[in-house]
Structure 1
Amino acid sequence: MNIENIESFVYINHYGSFNKTAEALFLSQPSVTARIQTLERELGCRLFDRIGKQVVLTEEGRKFLPYAQEMLKTLQKGRQHIRRSEKLPQELRIGSTISVSNYLIPELLPRLHERCPGIHVKLTTGGTDDLVKRLLAGETDVAFIRKVMHPSLRTAAFYEDPIHLYVRSDHPFADEESVSAEELQERKLVFFECGTLDWLRIHRAFEALESPPEIAFHVDNSETAKKLILRGAGIGFLPAVCAREEVREGRLTPVRVRELSEFALQTSLVALRQDDSAITRQLSSIFGDLVREGELAASPFSGHGDEDVLRRSKPQSGISRALAR
């Protein structure tokens, strides 16, 4: 029985989608489907049913799931046991975008130092294009940046951060469960632009309006955008990790816009293709621990339990495997 088929089965149960599983495992959707079909033939039963757009476990799938999960855990423990003896570098040169540097790195690095106390970290903050150049020049070991496609680089999906509309907590919208795009047309927007493709969805939601919202401030820094919103200069769309402290303190409130389906900014962990260092596995493992322990998983909306939070803001699986290819 192929362990990769079992892995796909567990991932589909986690993500509830063949497509999302394919993205996480860096496979095509037909490849994931073929894996499940092979596993079903070996077991002699169906493992999933489709209910509308949802994929759910059959009764046989539910029975097999704990055994599949245990097999993957056992394999992971074996890998970890072998890797404990791997020599780590004395200095780790990390590159990251501004948002990762501001909100994730301060929680990631202390954990890394606990596990690898002999490592000295040198952090460089910059844009994706600049950090790609540093990777290719050998000036940076790993980088947390937007997804890139380059023959000399390995890219693994790392973190998905949902984007929401945020208002100051004394704003009239703060008491609303959701608002329409039309209700925003008389409001001033603080527009934080961090990626053209990501923000096209926001623009499209306003295209049909007679009077689109006024973009009073167009900025390229999330902290600047957040502080303008906190000062009452306008309302704006922000990545959830950027506003989690202010939401927790009751100073900012996330608001759903009915015309906008949920979307997110994605960060990838990128390294040179020939690099097979143990440090990338440590980084992915530490980040996964942070999310499981709830340190990075704070739901922007009330009424969501921990399970939903982990679904909304989570590290992407398969990092070590993807970077090791």
Structure 2
Amino acid sequence: MNLKQLEAFVQVAEEGSFSKAAKELFLTQPTISAHIASLEKELNVRLFIRNTKEVSLSEDGKELYKYAKPMMDLERKIEERFGSGEDTAKHCITIAASTVPAQYLLPEILKRYNEKYPKEQLKIVEMDSAQVVLRVIDHMVDVGLTGTTLEKKHCKYVPFYKDQLVVITPNTEKYRRLGEESAGDISWICKESFIMREEGSGTRKEAEKQFARAGIDVGKLDVIASIENQETIKKSVTQGLGISVLSRLASKEEVEEGHMLAFPIPGADKGRDINLVYNKNYQLTRSAERFIRVVKEVYGLEQ
């Protein structure tokens, strides 16, 4: 076993692909495959479950990753300290983000980070909120941005933004009239075709909580579709397929342009927290620490 084999293993685990890992490491795919095969033979385990669409870690693979990832992090720290020097070395931070923070909050953060640390590189992976937390727990990313918190002792959550949810509808006479006549009562949504975000979405989980507080039985909604991509949801709503619930951030542009209407959910508080999350059981890299400081600066949090 050697560091090159472990480096290939960690990269495939994080990319979910042999070809992507090869590209990131500037190696050929056969070389990556040979490293993994040698590692599996030496350890006498199967590290990956392969199918036609993706590569995922086996249970033994997950166990090995917990040891291999810190070793790769330590190797990087040694290179940073004794290599070409901090002024010339490029470091990379991997950030997992759910849809809303990835599309509407990260751009400003990345701009500020790049202004302060132009030699740093960032890798962004977008996934649903629950997956973000799981990636952080498994130490497959440096930090995460998510609207969901899971009760895991390894995680440290830093709320940095309040996100409100709204019910979105087409901008038609029917819904304009409903908005005027309902006076804050949105019980009428139970009679409409409803489009939900996918399972695991932080928006969906929070919407279910807020609907319950507003006295709306989610089980009685006429859900006609469950869609992952919120751009698809917005286009479906504007074309009259149904109504939905989304972040106010995500619907702001369409509402301002008059393509959609947005109705607040009665009884909702100031909004759900969008959190920065990291695994407190592992030492953060210097780049990750810098990123966290920039997030706090951008959103006015105490350092």
Instruction: Tell me if both proteins adopt one fold, taking TM over 0.5 as the criterion.
Output: yes
For normalisation by structure 1, the TM-score amounts to 0.54
Tell me, yes or no, if structure 1 residue 272 matches structure 2 residue 279.
yes
Which amino acid is 1:201 matched to?
Q
Cα distance in 2 for residues equivalent to 1:128 and 1:185 = 26
Out of 127, 147, 150, which is 1:148 matched to?
Answer: 150
Pick closer, same or farther for the CA change 1:272–1:230 going to 2, 3 Å. same
Q: Gaps (5+ residues) in structure 2? A: 1-85
Which amino acid is 2:216 matched to?
F
Pick closer, same or farther for the CA change 1:166–1:130 going to 2, 3 Å. closer
Tell me, yes or no, if structure 1 residue 281 matches structure 2 residue 267.
no
Pick closer, same or farther for the CA change 1:214–1:203 going to 2, 3 Å. farther
Higher Rg: 2
1:222 positional shift: 2.4
For normalisation by structure 2, the TM-score amounts to 0.57
Cα distance in 1 for residues equivalent to 2:189 and 2:136 = 42
- Contact 1:167–1:253 (Cα < 8 Å) also in 2: yes
Which amino acid is 2:234 matched to?
K
Matches within 5 A, 1:303-318: 317-318=301-302
1:108 positional shift: 2.4
1:149-171 Cα offsets, whole Å, 9 max, x none, are 43333211122210111122224
Cα distance in 1 for residues equivalent to 2:262 and 2:140 = 39
136-145 vs 222-231, which moves further: 136-145
Pick closer, same or farther for the CA change 1:184–1:148 going to 2, 3 Å. closer
Pick closer, same or farther for the CA change 1:262–1:227 going to 2, 3 Å. farther
Partner of 2:117: 116
State the 4+ residue runs in structure 1 displaced beyond 6 angstroms.
Answer: 86-89
Out of 163, 166, 181, which is 2:165 matched to?
Answer: 163
Matches within 5 A, 1:12-31: none
Pick closer, same or farther for the CA change 1:151–1:185 going to 2, 3 Å. closer
Cα distance in 1 for residues equivalent to 2:240 and 2:217 = 25
Secondary structure (helix, strand or coil) at the match of 1:202 reads: helix
Matches within 5 A, 1:68-87: none
Out of 235, 259, 284, which is 1:227 matched to?
Answer: 235
Cα distance in 2 for residues equivalent to 1:153 and 1:94 = 15
Matches within 5 A, 1:1-325: 90-145=91-146, 146-174=148-176, 176-177=179-180, 178-192=183-197, 194=201, 195-196=204-205, 198-203=207-212, 205-207=215-217, 212-256=220-264, 258=266, 260-262=267-269, 264-273=271-280, 274-275=283-284, 277-288=289-300, 317-318=301-302, 320=303
Cα distance in 2 for residues equivalent to 1:153 and 1:184 = 36
Cα distance in 2 for residues equivalent to 1:182 and 1:198 = 14
- Aligned-residue sequence identity (percent) comes to 20
Cα distance in 2 for residues equivalent to 1:105 and 1:171 = 36
Across the two proteins, how many residue pairs are aligned to each other? Answer: 203
1:167-206 Cα offsets, whole Å, 9 max, x none, are 2222422353445234334322222353435414325623
Cα distance in 1 for residues equivalent to 2:145 and 2:111 = 17
- Contact 2:211–2:217 (Cα < 8 Å) also in 1: no
Secondary structure (helix, strand or coil) at the match of 2:225 reads: strand
RMSD value, Cα? 3.1
Q: Gaps (5+ residues) in structure 1? A: 1-85, 289-316, 321-325
Which amino acid is 1:269 matched to?
L
Cα distance in 2 for residues equivalent to 1:248 and 1:285 = 28
Cα distance in 1 for residues equivalent to 2:158 and 2:276 = 5
- Contact 2:109–2:294 (Cα < 8 Å) also in 1: no
1:103 positional shift: 2.1
1:136 positional shift: 4.1
- Contact 2:210–2:265 (Cα < 8 Å) also in 1: no
